[in-house]
């Protein structure tokens, strides 16, 4: 099957199958699959035009809503944090799209940028796995969350309704919220600035930025991962919607480049991602998380080194 925007020919079952496999493993490792799909499109499919970033955003749009709905149902969406992330990432992703089309249109220059992003994600994954991340880390925060859930349910008896997030204060200086009886207070400008920078990176690369912004929330601002995951995921979704729209808007101004997303290819990737995320969530308890994460880390770092070497030499 020929995809005219991407300029590639591939069997229609390949994109959803690859996305399903990638999302299956990445979802079990707690990592977004979008950052691995882009190297697959560039290295295996030969899709290197700027529109590959927009197509990657389209994958997020199709695959993410099920996860967002889950956090909404569980009452784990911290709306003040979500709005700051959205407000910061939106202008960032617009700048990122311009950067991609204007300064990184060719494959070599973009691969060097992609190598830097993948190298950061890979190093972050190594730090998480070796327990060297600042503070107690994701594993301990998740254990604390499970303890809070068990304590609440033991007190509630038969009532299994879990408490939702409660906003204490939300202004241009501070954001304060309460979750399961614990209070968290962070700087609003700090969250906004971080989200803005991540929006630029995500808009350029073609990922929403959740895999980048969430670790900063945990390590820099001291927020437990179980309270920021929903906001990061929603920010990724909104960033991807804006990214696709803006790449589509820029397309007429760059007639010599493929800028707009390949809609059919992106939707096929997204449908496979939906299935993979669902299956990954179902099988997560049966697979040791460290094994999956180490495998992903090797793939990410290997791809980063390959791209960096090919771009520089």
Position 161 scores a pLDDT of: 57
Assigned token pair, 71? 């956090």
What share of the chain in percent tops pLDDT 70?
Answer: 86
Position 233 scores a pLDDT of: 84
Over residues 188-200, the pLDDT tens digits come to: 999 999 999 989 9
Position 260 scores a pLDDT of: 95
Over residues 128-146, the pLDDT tens digits come to: 778 765 554 555 555 666 6
Position 71 scores a pLDDT of: 78
Position 230 scores a pLDDT of: 82
Assigned token pair, 44? 């295996």
Position 157 scores a pLDDT of: 54
Query: With 90 as the cut, is the pLDDT of residue 52 above it?
Result: yes
Over residues 200-213, the pLDDT tens digits come to: 998 999 987 776 88
Assigned token pair, 272? 């496979």
- Dihedral sign from CA coordinates of 196, 50, 304, 287: positive
Position 299 scores a pLDDT of: 86
Interhelix angle for 225-250 vs 188-205, to 10°?
50
Over residues 82-103, the pLDDT tens digits come to: 999 999 999 999 999 999 999 9
| pLDDT classification of 228: cutoffs 50, 70, 90 | confident
| H or E element, residue 34 | helix 34-43
Listed ranges 53-67, 256-270, 295-309; the one with the highest mean pLDDT = 256-270
Position 31 scores a pLDDT of: 65
Helix, strand, or coil (residue 169): strand
Query: What does the alpha-carbon distance between residue 260 and residue 38 come to, in Å, rounded to a whole number?
Result: 15
Q: Among 23-27, 37-41, 271-275, which stretch is predicted with the lowest mean pLDDT?
A: 23-27
Over residues 142-177, the pLDDT tens digits come to: 566 667 666 766 665 545 556 677 889 999 999 999
Position 69 scores a pLDDT of: 82
Q: Rounded to a whole number, what is the distance in angstroms from the first to the last CA of the chain?
A: 34
Query: What does the alpha-carbon distance between residue 140 and residue 154 come to, in Å, rounded to a whole number?
Result: 21
Position 181 scores a pLDDT of: 72
Position 291 scores a pLDDT of: 79
Q: Read off the pLDDT of each residue in 48-61 and give the average, rounded to a whole number.
A: 94
Position 153 scores a pLDDT of: 61
**CB-based burial label for 68 (10 Å; 0-12, 13-18, 19+):** middle
- This prediction has a pTM of 0.83
Mean pLDDT over each residue of the chain, to the nearest integer: 85
pLDDT top residue among 151 and 20 = 20
Position 26 scores a pLDDT of: 82
């Amino acid at each position: 099957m020929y995809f005219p925007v991407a300029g590639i020919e591939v069997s229609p079952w390949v994109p959803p199958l690859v996305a399903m496999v990638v999302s299956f493993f990445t979802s079990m490792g707690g990592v977004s699959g979008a950052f691995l799909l882009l190297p697959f499109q560039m290295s295996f499919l030969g899709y290197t035009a700027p529109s590959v970033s927009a197509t990657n955003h389209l994958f997020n749009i199709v695959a993410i809503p099920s996860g967002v709905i889950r956090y909404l149902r569980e009452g784990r969406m911290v709306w003040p944090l979500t709005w700051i992330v959205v407000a910061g990432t939106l202008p960032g992703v617009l700048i990122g799209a311009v950067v991609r089309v204007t300064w990184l249109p060719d494959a070599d220059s973009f691969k060097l940028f992609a190598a830097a992003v993948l190298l950061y994600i890979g190093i972050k994954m190594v730090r998480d796995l070796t327990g060297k991340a600042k503070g107690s880390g994701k594993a301990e925060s998740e254990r604390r969350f499970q303890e809070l859930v068990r304590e609440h349910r033991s007190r509630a008896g038969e009532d299994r309704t879990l408490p939702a997030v409660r906003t204490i204060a939300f202004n241009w200086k501070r954001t304060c919220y309460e979750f399961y009886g614990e209070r968290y207070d962070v700087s609003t400008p700090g969250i906004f600035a971080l989200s803005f920078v991540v929006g630029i990176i995500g808009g350029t690369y073609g990922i929403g930025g959740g895999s980048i912004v969430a670790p900063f929330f945990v390590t820099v601002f001291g927020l437990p991962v179980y309270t920021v995951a929903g906001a990061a995921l929603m920010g990724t979704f909104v960033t991807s919607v804006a990214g696709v729209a803006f790449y589509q808007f820029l397309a007429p101004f760059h007639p010599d480049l493929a800028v707009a997303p390949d809609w059919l290819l992106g939707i096929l990737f997204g449908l496979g991602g939906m299935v993979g995320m669902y299956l990954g969530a179902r099988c997560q308890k049966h697979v040791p998380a460290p094994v999956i994460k180490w495998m992903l880390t090797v793939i990410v770092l290997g791809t980063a080194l390959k791209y960096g070497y090919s771009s520089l030499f």
